[in-house]
C-alpha cells in the first residue's frame, strides 16, 4: 500500500521527517533520527518489520553492493563504531560497475530494472551454513515473480489480457539456476550476489545484492538467454511496487531461516532447481570437456550434486556450466 511521505531538503538530499512516520511507533523507536532518501526521490516504506526502514536511493552508483560495504566500513571507523541497522537498503536506477558472480559484470539500462542491496547481520548463522542464506534469498526472489504471475498484489502492468492469454507462463516455470540465478523457462531474469563478512565461525554481516530485469526488452547479443518480466510475462511494471514486495518476501524468508527451518529451505530450493532430474550437458570450465549428467540437488556447502554414468559428482560454483 502506498503512503504519502513528507519530505524536506537538507544539503541537496531529501529526508523523511519523523512527523511523517510517527504513526509507526516501532519504527521511530528503532530509528532515532530519520529515514534517508538520496537524490530527492519519493519513498514508500515496505510492509516489513525491519527490512527497508532505512532506505538510500540514488539515480546512479558504480555498485549498490560496493556503496553498502563502504558505508559499513566508514561507520566502523567512527569513534562510536556504530553500524547501519539491519535491513538497510541501497538502491540505484543505474549502476556503472554492477557486479555478478565471481567478478562478472551486471549491465542494466537506466531505470528499467531493479538494482538493490540489503544489509543483514546473520551472526546466528555458521560459516559452514552460509549457503542457506543464498537459498533463502533465491526463494524470496522466486516468491516475488510467482506473485506477479498470480496477480496477487502487484499492479501497474499493461496489456494484462495479452500476458495471460498468449504467454502462458505458470509458477512451475520459475526456476532457480544453481547457485542463485532466477530463470523463467530457460532464460535468466535475475541474479544474486551475496558478500559475506566472517567473524570466527559465524557470519558478521551480509550484503545481499539483487539485479532483477523488470522492463528491459532488448539485450546485448552476448546475452542470448536473458529475459525480463516485461519480455516474458508481458506488460510494463512499477519497479517501486516490485521492490516493496521483494523486501517483504526477503524478510519472510530470512526470518524463516533464523527460526531454524534449514531442512525445509533446502527441500524447497531443490524442488525449484532448474533442470533437476533432467539429463543435461555440462562443460568443465578448467578443460572445456563436456559430459552428461543429471542434477540431483545440492549438499550442505552449496555444491551441486550431479549423477554421471560413473559417480555422484560434486561441483563448486564456476567449476561447471550448463550447455543451454
Burial of 297 (0-12, 13-18, 19+ CB in 10 A): middle
pLDDT of res. 99: 59
Q: Topology of 46-271 in CATH?
A: BirA Bifunctional Protein; domain 2 (3.30.930)
Whether 117 contacts 214, CB under 8 Å: no
pLDDT of res. 271: 98
pLDDT of res. 82: 84
- Edge-first strand order for the sheet with 181-184 is 55-61, 89-95, 114-120, 202-212, 187-199, 181-184, 174-177
Residue reference for cell 563436456: 290
pLDDT of res. 46: 60
pTM passes above 0.75:
yes
pLDDT of res. 117: 98
Residue 184 C-alpha cell reads as 523463467
The residue extents of the domains of the chain are 46-271, 279-322
pLDDT of res. 110: 85
pLDDT of res. 78: 74
pLDDT of res. 26: 32
Q: Topology of 279-322 in CATH?
A: SH3 type barrels. (2.30.30)
Strands 290-298 and 304-307: antiparallel
pLDDT of res. 105: 56
For residues 86 and 254, what is the distance between their CA atoms, to the nearest angstrom?
A: 12
Q: pLDDT 10s digit of each residue in the chain, 324 long?
A: 333 232 222 222 333 333 333 323 333 333 323 345 555 444 555 689 999 999 999 999 999 999 999 999 998 877 667 889 999 999 999 999 765 554 555 567 889 999 999 999 999 999 999 999 999 999 999 999 999 998 754 444 444 444 444 457 899 999 999 999 999 999 999 999 999 999 999 999 999 999 999 999 999 988 889 999 999 998 899 999 999 999 999 999 999 999 999 999 999 999 999 999 999 999 999 999 999 999 999 999 999 999 999 999 999 998 999 987
pLDDT of res. 107: 66
Residue reference for cell 532506505: 55
Shared fold status for 46-271 and 279-322: no
Q: Dihedral through CA 47, CA 51, CA 54, CA 58, nearest 10?
A: -90
Helices (H), 102-238: 131-150, 160-162, 229-233
Residue 190 C-alpha cell reads as 535475475
Amino acid at each position: 500500500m502506498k503512503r504519502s511521505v513528507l519530505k524536506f531538503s537538507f544539503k541537496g538530499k531529501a529526508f523523511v521527517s519523523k512527523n511523517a512516520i510517527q504513526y509507526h511507533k516501532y519504527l521511530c523507536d528503532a530509528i532515532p533520527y530519520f529515514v534517508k532518501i538520496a537524490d530527492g526521490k519519493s519513498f514508500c516504506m515496505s510492509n516489513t518489520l525491519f527490512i527497508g526502514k532505512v532506505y538510500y536511493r540514488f539515480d546512479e552508483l558504480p555498485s549498490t553492493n560496493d556503496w553498502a560495504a563502504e558505508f559499513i566500513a566508514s561507520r566502523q571507523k567512527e569513534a562510536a563504531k556504530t553500524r547501519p541497522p539491519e535491513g538497510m537498503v541501497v538502491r540505484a536506477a543505474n549502476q556503472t560497475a554492477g557486479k555478478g558472480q565471481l567478478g562478472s559484470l551486471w549491465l542494466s539500462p537506466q531505470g528499467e530494472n531493479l538494482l538493490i542491496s540489503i544489509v543483514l547481520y546473520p551472526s546466528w548463522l555458521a560459516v559452514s551454513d552460509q549457503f542457506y542464506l543464498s537459498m533463502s534469498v533465491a526463494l524470496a526472489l522466486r516468491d516475488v515473480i510467482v506473485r506477479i504471475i498470480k496477480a496477487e498484489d502487484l499492479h501497474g502492468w499493461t496489456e494484462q489480457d495479452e500476458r495471460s492469454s498468449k504467454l502462458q507462463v505458470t509458477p512451475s516455470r520459475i526456476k532457480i539456476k544453481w547457485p542463485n540465478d532466477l530463470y523463467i523457462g530457460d532464460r535468466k531474469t535475475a541474479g544474486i550476489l551475496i558478500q559475506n563478512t566472517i567473524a570466527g565461525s559465524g557470519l558478521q554481516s551480509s550484503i545481499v545484492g539483487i539485479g532483477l530485469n523488470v522492463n528491459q526488452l532488448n539485450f546485448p547479443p552476448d546475452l542470448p538467454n536473458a529475459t525480463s518480466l516485461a519480455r516474458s510475462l508481458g506488460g510494463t511494471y512499477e519497479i517501486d511496487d516490485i521492490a516493496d514486495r521483494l523486501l517483504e518476501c526477503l524478510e519472510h524468508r530470512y526470518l524463516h531461516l533464523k527460526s531454524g527451518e534449514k531442512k525445509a529451505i533446502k527441500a524447497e530450493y531443490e524442488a525449484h532447481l532448474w533442470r533437476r532430474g533432467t539429463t543435461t550437458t555440462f562443460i568443465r570450465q578448467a578443460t572445456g570437456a563436456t559430459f552428461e549428467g543429471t542434477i540431483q540437488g545440492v549438499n550442505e556447502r552449496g555444491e551441486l550434486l550431479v549423477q554421471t554414468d560413473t559417480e555422484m559428482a560434486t561441483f563448486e560454483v564456476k567449476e561447471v556450466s550448463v550447455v543451454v
